[in-house]
Chains A and B, each alone.
Chain A
Amino acid sequence: MGSYQPSTQEERQAMLEAIGCQSMDDLYAQVPPQMRLDHLDLPDGKSELEVRRILEGIAAKNTVFPSVFRGAGAYKHYIPAIVKSVTSKETFVTAYTPYQAELSQGVLQSIFEYQTMICALTGMDASNASIYDGASAAAEAVAMCRDRKRSTVLISAAAHPMVRRTVETYCFGNGMEVKTVPVKNGFTDTQALTDLLDDTVACFYLQQPNYFGRIEAAKELGEAAHAAGAKFIMGVNPIAMAVLKTPGECGADIAVGEGQPLGMPLSFGGPYLGFMAATSALTRKLPGRIVGETTDHDGRRAYVLTLQAREQHIRREKASSNVCSNQALCAMTAAVYLAAVGPDGLRQVAERCMAHARYAAQKVCDVPGFDMVYPGPYFHEFVTTCPCKPEKLLTGLAKRGILGPLPLEDGNLLWCATEMNTRDEIDALEQAIREVV
């Protein structure tokens, strides 16, 4: 059993005596005796080696698929070695939120660099230091848009179902009404959006590329929202930002997204990264930590947590949000990833995703019964029909080491390919599908 306490039993006894106590019970004198526990019904403590064996055993019960053709909000990309090397540095791992600027310039500068990169990716003016994930970032963005007269949220039905669910859950809290803009042919229905927009609408949330992988006419949809006086929020895939029109170029007021593709493993859904950036008009409404540049008393460049008048520890119930801990180390992960791949590298990753997805779509659709459901442009995800029960296909693929597509409610399949799926792997996928179906 370990408790990671350096002091020995004897030292602890000596410390007790040094403060004039007989036993530990004296220190818990304020705790009513009838409430104190006799014992905890837990297993006995274990050595490091025993704990290692137990958790390795548990991990071994999972299947890790060598070949993954599924995204749907969590994407398998190549993680450069430098990313893990930097983000596992002890000081970065064990530091707290950088309240003490003099002692935390390293962490603060890294967040400032992250914020700059998120602005570059999204084309927005200001980024926060991160939020929990793409869904909570979307929900926080929605809350930013509320004002006295406008408390309705329009969210595209082509947004990730869990993002929609999270927005609805946050809105159950803050009392905003959520209405869904339906999908037509795999796109957000422009006419339906126009019909839903009125002077109670605070914002419209659009995902780009959308849940079905399709590239929306974001600029036009945003213009419709703006024409009705609503704010325009875009939830974007960060890798796609290397090639697609940015939220800034589409006129978005707030850009958010799931940052997991930027160097974070799948990890059964977390920790991931919510990135969040806004126009300068909305900067002071952003939730969470923000790092700013300033100078010290000698005029040296310095970084601090700033605009804290928005935050819970100053404003309490009037704060813009309750965010305290965010996903700082994941933000650093994204920053190291982006710095490692650079502008050309990110474009290369995005183009590989598109090329591999197209090749995969072609190979999958070479098999009879699999057809593209939606014609037209997509990024790295696409939807096909399925000639058999999806479970049959998925079980068969799983036996061959392949994590197949995500079955959708309508019986169709949502596929994904990234730079990780080689030509050989995609050819093998086609072969496997033929064997299974």
Chain B
Amino acid sequence: MELLFEKSRKGRRCDLLPPLDVPPAHLMAGMERETPLDLPELSEVDLTRHYSALERRAHGVNNGFYPLGSCTMKYNPRINEELSALPGFTGVHPTQSADTAQGCLEVLYLAEELLCEITGMDAMTFQPAAGAHGEFTALLMVKKYHLDRGDTARTKILVPDSAHGTNPASAAMCGFTVVNVPSNPDGGVDLEALKAAAGPDTAALMLTNPNTLGLFDPNILEITQIVHDAGGLCYYDGANLNAVMGVVRPGDMGFDLVHLNLHKTFSTPHGGGGPGSGPVGCKKFLQDFLPVFHVEEGGDGLEFKDPAKSIGSVKVFYGNFTVVVKALAYILTLGAQGIPEAAKGAVLNANYLREQLRGTYDIAYGDGPCMHEFVLTLHDLKKQTGVSAMDVAKALIDHGIHPPTMYFPLIVEEALMFEPTETESRETLDEAAAVLRDIRAQADADPESLHTAPHTTPIGRPDEVKAARHPVLRYTPPEGKA
């Protein structure tokens, strides 16, 4: 398909602005741009057809099942989109005085109150724009907290080997050294290894619970106790909160800080990779370290206050505000009963799909029930048939199903991680299971056809090595056409 630049025709345009009604202004010589501005020239109809064609070459939750593990691709309610687009929200300038922005402040205040109840935390910031940004924010708070106590020895962050890659990367951005903690044979944190690793140099533990294997760690209270006894803080990566919201709270598991992914757990859409929202909640003793612009009640209504020992600011203004509006609408819709019901539905759907696949595929750590997601290991299948996790994932595409997360977590070989979410029906799960069983049969009968899947998409498997070795990161017009 042609790029916008290839469709461009000199002189085409959309007519957008009225004639100039004041005297023109000019720049002084020497300040002006010299290079021609190479933007495409298109009419509105060119544009709408272009993007409609691109839309047909993409896959969203509206197109079909999207069991991408650890990403919580649940349905994104349309009412939330409408409400976040109200002119009463989108038309507000971020530096307006508090008395003219009480509605926006109320959104943040209310969302904080509700999410603190859901997480068992005492205060929250909405400044972080994504989950990884929230991790970074929380770890800066950890750093500042220890330094504020005059404890300069706490330079290490404990991270289980099953953790998301963002955890160690966030720790490194804060100047911490990462200590990997191995998993035990049940897939949980190895307590002896944790005891050995925790000490006077421990700043914090970062933990996802349920973890990336979809398992709730039954030793969670002991885990957080070990870290606290060593003087470290416990940080909860909220990526997997969808399994347990309303059932059990990070605050009650012993965690001191938590980040949430509003774009996972609280139904705000992923937008092809953002904007998300990664609020960070904390217990009272850490509240003074939150980023600037915390909403509080003042004499004349709500207002922003900078916490006394704030880490500072991780972005401009107050976060991805309209994303918070969407999450707030979702929480108000579900309410006290709906929140745990959604979690339970997610866990039920994952267990149901997993049981449909038992016997067809090997399940990693598959003895007890799973939480909201589960991991298949195709190690033996690959040995027997040559069909890899990648092959099965790509074959799903031909059946209109978005592949699960591949080759993650790293501690499982040939991993496929499925997270169906609560917003899928039994029929969808049954169909997916049937497709996966067919693919398994095909692995014996015709493995070659799986190696070359998908067959129904605009392109086949791309050459990623070529892309990385000889990077072409922008369009360059052919010679003579510039």
Q: Is the CB of B59 within 8 A of A30?
A: no
List the 7 closest A-B pairs by CB distance, nearest first. A269-B317, A59-B88, A45-B335, A329-B271, A169-B312, A269-B94, A328-B273
Given A126-B474, A345-B16, verify A296-B461 contact (CB < 8 Å): yes
Q: Please, could you name 6 A-B residue pairs with CB atoms under 8 Å apart, sorted by A? A: A1-B337, A32-B221, A61-B106, A104-B59, A266-B90, A268-B92
Asked if A185 is an interface residue, CB under 8 A from chain B, the answer is no
Chain A residues closer than 8 Å to B273, beta-carbon distance: 96-98, 107, 129, 289, 325-326, 328-329
Q: How many of chain A's residues have a CB under 8 angstroms from any CB in B?
A: 204
Q: Is the CB of B253 within 8 A of A35?
A: yes
B window 22-65: CB within 8 A of A: 22-28, 31-42, 44, 47-48, 51-63
Q: Is the CB of A132 within 8 A of B129?
A: yes
Say which residue of B39, B170, B335, B402 sits within 8 Å of A120 (CB atoms).
Answer: B39
Per-position binary interface string of chain A over residues 1-44, scored 1 when its CB falls under 8 Å from any chain B CB and 0 otherwise: 11111110001101110111100101111111001110111111
B window 230-280: CB within 8 A of A: 244, 246-249, 252-253, 261, 263, 267, 269-276
A window 47-79: CB within 8 A of B: 47-48, 51-52, 54-56, 58-65, 68, 70, 72-74, 76, 78
How far, in Å, is A13 (CB) from chain B's closest CB? 10
Q: How far is the CA of A24 from the CA of B422 in the complex (A)?
A: 14
Say which residue of A2, A24, A99, A243 sits within 8 Å of B344 (CB atoms).
Answer: A24
Given A113-B3, A339-B4, verify A269-B336 contact (CB < 8 Å): no
Q: Is the CB of A94 within 8 A of B320?
A: no
Q: Is the CB of B271 within 8 A of A340?
A: no
Q: Is the CB of B468 within 8 A of A28?
A: no
Say which residue of B28, B168, B422 sits within 8 Å of A316 (CB atoms).
Answer: B168
Given A116-B5, A347-B37, verify A29-B315 contact (CB < 8 Å): no
Q: Is the CB of B22 within 8 A of A322?
A: no
Chain B residues closer than 8 Å to A6, beta-carbon distance: 423-425
Per-position binary interface string of chain A over residues 168-180, scored 1 when its CB falls under 8 Å from any chain B CB and 0 otherwise: 1110111100000
Say which residue of A76, A245, A271, A406 sits within 8 Å of B275 (CB atoms).
Answer: A271
Q: Is the CB of B47 within 8 A of A290?
A: no
Asked if A431 is an interface residue, CB under 8 A from chain B, the answer is no
Given A86-B47, A268-B317, A313-B165, verify A324-B77 contact (CB < 8 Å): no
From A2, which residue of chain B is reached at the shortest CB distance?
Answer: B333
Q: Is the CB of B88 within 8 A of A36?
A: no
Chain B contact residues: over half helix, strand or loop, or mixed? loop
Chain A residues closer than 8 Å to B249, beta-carbon distance: 37
Q: Is the CB of B48 within 8 A of A346?
A: no
Q: Is the CB of A243 within 8 A of B27?
A: yes
Most interface-central of A30, A103, A316 (chain B CB within 10 A): A103
Q: How far is the CA of A19 from the CA of B397 in the complex (A)?
A: 27
Q: Is the CB of B369 within 8 A of A322?
A: no
Per-position binary interface string of chain B over residues 421-435, scored 1 when its CB falls under 8 Å from any chain A CB and 0 otherwise: 011111000000000
Q: Is the CB of A290 within 8 A of B270?
A: no
Q: Is the CB of A162 within 8 A of B313?
A: yes
In which size bucket is the chain B interface?
35 or more
Asked if B184 is an interface residue, CB under 8 A from chain A, the answer is no
Q: Is the CB of B263 within 8 A of A294?
A: no
Q: How far is the CA of A196 from the CA of B175 in the complex (A)?
A: 25
Q: Is the CB of A43 within 8 A of B336?
A: yes
Asked if B381 is an interface residue, CB under 8 A from chain A, the answer is no
Chain B residues closer than 8 Å to A78, beta-carbon distance: 16-17
Q: Is the CB of A61 within 8 A of B166?
A: no
Asked if B118 is an interface residue, CB under 8 A from chain A, the answer is yes
Per-position binary interface string of chain B over residues 57-100, scored 1 when its CB falls under 8 Å from any chain A CB and 0 otherwise: 11111110010100101111101011100111111111111001
Asked if A89 is an interface residue, CB under 8 A from chain B, the answer is yes
Asked if A249 is an interface residue, CB under 8 A from chain B, the answer is yes
Say which residue of A58, A89, A351, A419 sits within 8 Å of B55 (CB atoms).
Answer: A89
Given A61-B102, A68-B93, A174-B174, verify A27-B351 contact (CB < 8 Å): yes
Q: Is the CB of B103 within 8 A of A61?
A: yes
Q: Is the CB of B402 within 8 A of A109?
A: no
Q: Is the CB of A55 within 8 A of B328?
A: yes
Q: Which of these binds chain B: A197-205, A223-231, A300-308, A366-374?
A: A300-308
Asked if B300 is an interface residue, CB under 8 A from chain A, the answer is no
Given A101-B462, A295-B466, A346-B39, verify A42-B117 contact (CB < 8 Å): yes
Question: Apart from A132-B320, A311-B165, A325-B261, what 13 extra A-B contacts exist at CB < 8 Å?
Answer: A3-B338, A46-B332, A86-B51, A97-B272, A97-B273, A112-B473, A116-B5, A116-B475, A242-B37, A266-B93, A268-B322, A326-B273, A355-B25
Q: Is the CB of A244 within 8 A of B14?
A: no
Asked if A298 is an interface residue, CB under 8 A from chain B, the answer is yes
Given A113-B5, A173-B173, verify A51-B83 contact (CB < 8 Å): yes
Q: Is the CB of B3 within 8 A of A102?
A: no
From A101, which residue of chain B is reached at the shortest CB distance?
Answer: B462
Chain B residues closer than 8 Å to A73, beta-carbon distance: 94-95, 316-317
Q: Is the CB of B246 within 8 A of A37?
A: yes
Most interface-central of B26, B71, B173 (chain A CB within 10 A): B173
Asked if B340 is an interface residue, CB under 8 A from chain A, the answer is yes
Q: Is the CB of B39 within 8 A of A338?
A: yes
Given A82-B14, A113-B475, A339-B42, verify A268-B101 contact (CB < 8 Å): yes
Asked if B467 is an interface residue, CB under 8 A from chain A, the answer is yes
Given A27-B344, A31-B244, verify A313-B14 contact (CB < 8 Å): no
Say which residue of A18, A46, A106, A116 sits within 8 Å of B56 (CB atoms).
Answer: A106
Q: How far is the CA of A336 from the CA of B52 in the complex (A)?
A: 12
From A284, which residue of chain B is reached at the shortest CB distance?
Answer: B471
From B97, which residue of chain A is reached at the shortest CB distance?
Answer: A394
Q: How far is the CA of A296 from the CA of B460 in the complex (A)?
A: 5
